Amino acid sequence: MPVRIVQVDAFTSKPYAGNPAAVCVLQAAAEDVWMRNVASEMNLSETAFLHREHDGYRLRWFTPAVEVDLCGHATLASAHVLWADGHLPPDEAAVFYTRSGKLTCIQNNGWIEMDFPAKVCERAEPPKQLAEALGAPMRWIGRNQFDYLVELADEDAVRELKPNHQLLGQLPVRGVIVCARSHAYDFISRFFAPGSGIDEDPVTGSAHCALAPYWADHLGKAEMTAYQASPRGGIVKVRVEGDRVKLSGQAVTILIGELLA
């Protein structure tokens, strides 16, 4: 029986920008091997699979190479599909049960707001190959359970960075977040995860679970607007509330199809 699959550009209001994710809303749980094969076939940074569970949906995320514990843009895309395809009424929250616990999304004036756990980074001694891989002076280095977070000198350093992906892929983390203060936004960032099968992720919601508390501390404010400066680019609004981070973005459906196998 064919399975409907929807491709969504997340953290953008226009097609062919932001971060693309594929979404499959299933009737029941699927086999891991099938989900891995679909994610590999789609070859996007993330493919999301969800099915009804309790008062919400069980949600899992796969890169072309691995299953991940937390993904912002594919959660945003999943909530968008639930509302756009009529699985949920517009005023009902999208509730997801995931490897990172319960996540909730609501619609708010044309934006989708996600309630995620904060992933605070603690100052860390970087491995030698991190500096070698980035090839840029590092102002601050931290680490949480997923990633290294590196503050660079300024916005230009982030935009112009050309890291060695082979070296980054050898680090014992999901990925590396680089960031700096910005003129047009509160801060900008980029995210590299070659070890997870993605050299550079276009817009990474989960990275902002670390970026938001870091910059809230440095800028002295809880609500900020961020820009991820990948070639596709995307805007993420963030608000820190205790040990939670509210991430807001927009989304656009660009493709609807059927999986025949």
What are the CA-CA distances from residue 180 to residues 43, 140, 157, 188, 200 (Å)?
Answer: 30, 10, 8, 6, 17
Contact 80, 90 (CB under 8 A): no
**Measured between alpha carbons, how far is residue 137 from residues 123, 127, 203 in Å?**
16, 14, 23
**Residues carrying an active site annotation:** 46
How far apart CA 23 and CA 57 sit, in angstroms, is 13
User: In the numeric block, which tokens belong to residue 105?
Assistant: 């999304």
C-alpha span between 153 and 156 (Å, rounded): 8
